[in-house]
Structure 1
Amino acid sequence: MPVIKPISDLRNNFNQISEICHEGGEPVFITKNGKGDLVVMSMALYEKQQALLELYQKLAEAEAQSAAGVPRIPHKDLINKLRAKING
């Protein structure tokens, strides 16, 4: 269930909101005059979401290349090529 706090809590109880973000691993939604205004989250959660976004973008690019008929390298050939690079 999402944590929703008024903006006054951000000002008056920042440490509590920080603790909720870090311990729960979820964002805290901040309201202003009864309406959604901000989302506060830990750096760890932000970085995780950014990494997922980057992964989804790369997967979408790979899907587009696959649909366009871009030549592929078989898995076995790729592994052999990587091993050759590693082993010199």
Structure 2
Amino acid sequence: MPHNRPVSDLRNNFADISRTVHETREPVFLTKNGYGDMVVMSLEAYEQKQFESEIYFKL
């Protein structure tokens, strides 16, 4: 299930967002005025996505 949070949580609840992305290995989608604005994910999850993307590209 996607994790959606307001972008203000990045400032006010950074530790909670950090814990969420590391424990679930899933991205957190941040919204601004109710619309998608950015995505936060752990470095490990990002590197895995990059690796998978490179493999798919080579195929």
Shorter-chain TM range is: over 0.9
Superposed CA deviations along residues 12-31 of structure 1, whole A, max 9, x for unmatched, are 00010000000001000000
- TM-score, structure 2 as length reference: 0.98
Distance 2:2 2:36 in 1: 12
- Counterpart for residue 33 of structure 1: 33
Q: Which has the higher helix share?
A: 1
Distance 1:47 1:54 in 2: 11
Q: Alignment RMSD, CA only? A: 0.4
Aligned identity (percent) is 59
- Counterpart for residue 10 of structure 2: 10
Unaligned runs of 5+ in 2: none
Distance 2:35 2:56 in 1: 31
Aligned residues: 59
Q: Which runs of 4+ in 1 moved over 6 A?
A: none
Unaligned runs of 5+ in 1: 60-88
Structure with larger Rg: 1
Larger relative contact order (C-alpha < 8 A, sep ≥ 6)?
2
- Counterpart for residue 70 of structure 1: none
- Counterpart for residue 77 of structure 1: none
Alpha-carbon distance, 1:40 to partner:
0.2
